[in-house]
Amino acid sequence: MKTALKKVLKSKGVTLLLPIVVIGCAAPAAYNANTGQVAIRPASSGLIQQGAAAFEKYKKTKPISRDANARAKVNRVANRLKPVVNLPGARWEFEVFEDSSANAFALPGGKVGVNTGLLKIAQTDGQLAAVVAHEMAHVTSNHAQSRIQRNQTVALGGAILGAVLSGAENGQQLGQLAQKGGEIAFGLTFSRAQELEADRIGTLFMARAGYDPAEAITLWQKMGASQQSRTPELLSTHPVSSTRIQKLREFMPTAQAQRR
């Protein structure tokens, strides 16, 4: 096996494989640091339909909060952010779910869900705006499409390597291992990059809507203090709170400059 593997690794095909996978997983940044512009990338009609269908299904399976104050707060923040987020064809919809976990999510087309557990941490409108603007940034950056393409590329890379190694002993197993390794090396890192990008763009949306973007730092300080367990960042799709806080502090002068 070692001899066969050495021969394959010396071949040009495998030498070029990993760069292809890496390039395929990379996506242009939605925020241009040189111009200060945020790229708005509408999702395809098919992806928007899938997002709407998934949101409707979620609303049927998860209890919707009837807390009038919670719903009013989310709608108040959302209505203040929507005018500064110019996403063509967006049909924004914000829903509050009765769920104790401090979480929120977004789907293509402008569907945003906020858990009641998050509202216990994001107590001010500004702190909630940091979360809502972050989720809206995922939508405007079309991160869903990027993740789909990334997943397809990682799977393809593993399949190709498996095929290349098929003549060697345990070639199929090596291909599967390469796919799993690619998921950790590129997939999860790519997800963390999206999260940090949404953090940055979210603070710009906050500033343009008249919120203090520094509230995002306060939010993540509170989130970090509330975390019961800490998954190693390398194996997480989200950055740890300390990383987010550091990156937000570095970006804060840029965000504050756009405050209205």
Q: What is the pLDDT of residues 145-172, one digit of tens each?
A: 766 655 544 444 444 334 333 444 444 4
135 is an active site residue:
yes
Catalytic residue among 56, 93, 98, 135: 135
Distance (Å, whole) CA 95 – CA 59: 9
| CA dihedral over 122, 128, 130, 136, signed as positive or negative | positive
- What pLDDT score was predicted for residue 3? 47
Mean pLDDT over 122-134 rounds to 97
For residues 66, 216, 211, 256, the Cα torsion angle rounded to the nearest 10 degrees is -170
Q: How would residue 222 be classed by pLDDT, with cut points 50, 70 and 90?
A: very high
Tens digit of each residue's pLDDT (9 = 90 or more) over 92-101 = 999 999 999 9
Q: How many domains does the chain have?
A: 1
Is 127 within the bounds of a domain?
Answer: yes
Pairing of strands 93-97, 111-115: parallel
Is 5 within the bounds of a domain?
Answer: no
Q: Is 109 left (phi over 0), alpha (psi -120 to 50) or beta?
A: left
CB–CB of 237/188 below 8 Å? yes
Element at 225 (helix H, strand E): helix 215-226
Q: Which of 105-109, 142-146, 228-232, 251-255 has the highest mean pLDDT?
A: 251-255
- What pLDDT score was predicted for residue 243? 87
Q: What is the C-alpha R_g of the chain?
A: 21
Is 163 within the bounds of a domain?
Answer: yes
Distance (Å, whole) CA 57 – CA 67: 21
- What pLDDT score was predicted for residue 27? 54
Distance (Å, whole) CA 195 – CA 198: 5
Is the pLDDT higher at 193 or at 132?
132
Is 2 within the bounds of a domain?
Answer: no
Q: What percent of the chain has pLDDT over 70?
A: 66
173 pLDDT higher than 60: no
Nearest to 200 by CA among 151, 141, 145, 150: 141
Is 216 within the bounds of a domain?
Answer: yes
Which residue range(s) make up the domain with 242? 12-26+40-256
Distance (Å, whole) CA 160 – CA 134: 36
Is 156 within the bounds of a domain?
Answer: yes
Query: What is the number of other CB atoms lying within 10 angstroms of the CB of residue 96?
Result: 23
230 pLDDT higher than 70: no
Is 167 within the bounds of a domain?
Answer: yes
CB–CB of 8/17 below 8 Å? no
Query: What is the number of other CB atoms lying within 10 angstroms of the CB of residue 250?
Result: 10
Q: Which range, of 16-30, 49-63, 73-87, 225-239, averages the lowest pLDDT?
A: 16-30
Is 6 within the bounds of a domain?
Answer: no
Q: Which two tokens stand for residue 172?
A: 């199929």
Q: How would residue 88 be classed by pLDDT, with cut points 50, 70 and 90?
A: confident
Name the amino acid, one letter, at 91.
R
